Amino acid sequence: MDRKHALRVAIVGGGIAGTALALGLIKKGMTHVKLFEVAPAFGEIGAGVSFGANAVQAIKQLGIGEDYHEIADSTSAPWQDVWFEWRHAHDASLIGTSVAPGVGQSSVHRADFIDLLAKRLPQGIASLGRQVIGYEENNNEVSLKFSDGSSYPADVVIAADGIKSALRNPLLAAAGHSAVKPRFTGTSAFRGLVETAVLRDAYRAATLDDHLLNVPQMYLSEDAHVLTFPVKKGRLINIVAFVSDRHVEHPSWPADMPWVKAASKEQMLNSFESSGLAVKTLLQCIENPTLWALHDVEPLPTYVHGRVALIGDAAHAMLPHQGAGAGQGLEDAYFLAELLSNEAASAADVPALLAAYDEVRRERASRVQRTSWEAGELYEYKNPTVGRDSRKLKDALEQRLDWVWQHSLDDEVKKALTLC
């Protein structure tokens, strides 16, 4: 039997990164792949998710590019290459435009994307309603432990179980590092989906230029910013209104309070009193906003130990200010699908393969984490050298993501294989 077919891969978590990895491994001919998800069905809370050029490339290389484009949204011509137009929130004046040639603002509803991935998994791959609580590892294999007392043996375990990962701290402890908890960043986001036709009517009634609805927008202001982009083939506009509380150095979120909860329109509008008419009209059209407490994790000292590795938000949960979090999870998925399916790899090689993953991927993902936080500071006029100066903002904003987007995944894989 081909050694790559014999490799037993267990994936914990059925979100974007975990499901994409399972699909990538299956497409590579791996026959012993199992995905465990605690929920009784696949699904994602949330609204739209934006993918940069690097993420779209990873989707293509995972073999689902055509399927993705059937459900994805993009800006209509002649603005199809625009990622965001940047504006001051108080008067909607244009600061600059970020362009991603050939991709633009590629976005999709999270639930639709998970559905796309999950439907392409063969029967028997996914095991739903299974809560992983830990693992045990010896030199030859790793055994997942479940809340019902059962276990599952594997040659490699990939933890893709999100920011609240059950396996992250056991892995860090095994590697000799301190535990890491999700941290509240002090930023919250009001979210809503509004029919584009409703917004267009509201903008025209307010004598606002409805071009602002044709192109993804980012409105900047002191301690707040608001973004818009289309989902559901342009029928809906995804609106996310961020507000940051900077009164305390180390903000906290009550332990007994959910991270996502219903909010009132009044609460949302009060948070954006200083914004101009374009932003207020957007928010006024959100009938039932939700409020999201944005958490992240600090960059980790390692993503792996032995036969266990962290990917996606379990490894590098970040703020959404660069639209790059899901993309890093997709990069992880493609990278590990290539590495674990390598024809020369056997079960004995797994620790070395994962060490190469850590060596190559962690530096990039950690940088994306750091710069995502920095982006939020920039958008809210907190960059000390830029502030609210339009010319400096334009220079800082228009090319800041080139290094994220223009990235070769295959070069990463080749580098890793030289380390194994």
- Residue 20: in which H helix or E strand, if any? helix 16-27
Catalogue the long-range contacts made by 387-391 (C-beta closer than 8 Å, 24 or more residues apart): 388/88, 388/220, 388/222, 390/88, 390/93, 390/95
Q: Choosing from 8, 168, 191, 362, which is the catalytic residue? A: 191
All domains of the chain, ordered by start, with CATH? 3-76+105-181+299-380+403-419 (3.50.50.60)
Q: What whole-number distance in Å separates Cα of residue 412 and Cα of residue 152? A: 31
Determine whether 388 is an active site residue. Answer: no
Cross-strand partners of 217: 85, 228
Q: What whole-number distance in Å separates Cα of residue 184 and Cα of residue 295? A: 4
Would you write out the chain's pLDDT as a tens digit for each of its 420 residues? Answer: 344 557 999 999 999 999 999 999 999 999 899 999 998 777 666 666 889 999 999 999 999 999 999 888 888 889 899 999 999 999 999 999 999 998 998 988 888 898 899 899 999 998 899 999 999 998 799 999 999 999 999 999 999 999 999 999 999 999 999 999 999 999 999 999 999 999 999 999 999 999 999 999 999 999 999 999 887 778 889 999 999 999 888 899 999 999 999 999 999 999 999 999 999 999 999 999 999 999 999 999 999 999 999 999 999 999 999 999 999 999 999 999 999 998 878 899 999 999 999 999 999 999 999 999 999 999 999 999 999 999 999 999 999 999 999 999 999 999 998 888
Q: At 171, phi and psi to the nearest 5? A: -65, -45
Pairing relationship of beta strands 142-146 and 82-88 according to DSSP bridges: unpaired
User: Considering the entire predicted model, what is its pTM?
Assistant: 0.94
CA 394 to chain centre: 25
DSSP for 342-360 reads -TT--GGGHHHHHHHHHHH
Pairing relationship of beta strands 106-109 and 236-244 according to DSSP bridges: unpaired
- Residue 377: in which H helix or E strand, if any? helix 350-379
Q: What whole-number distance in Å separates Cα of residue 192 and Cα of residue 283? A: 8
- Packing angle of the helix pair 390-398, 350-379 (nearest 10 deg): 160
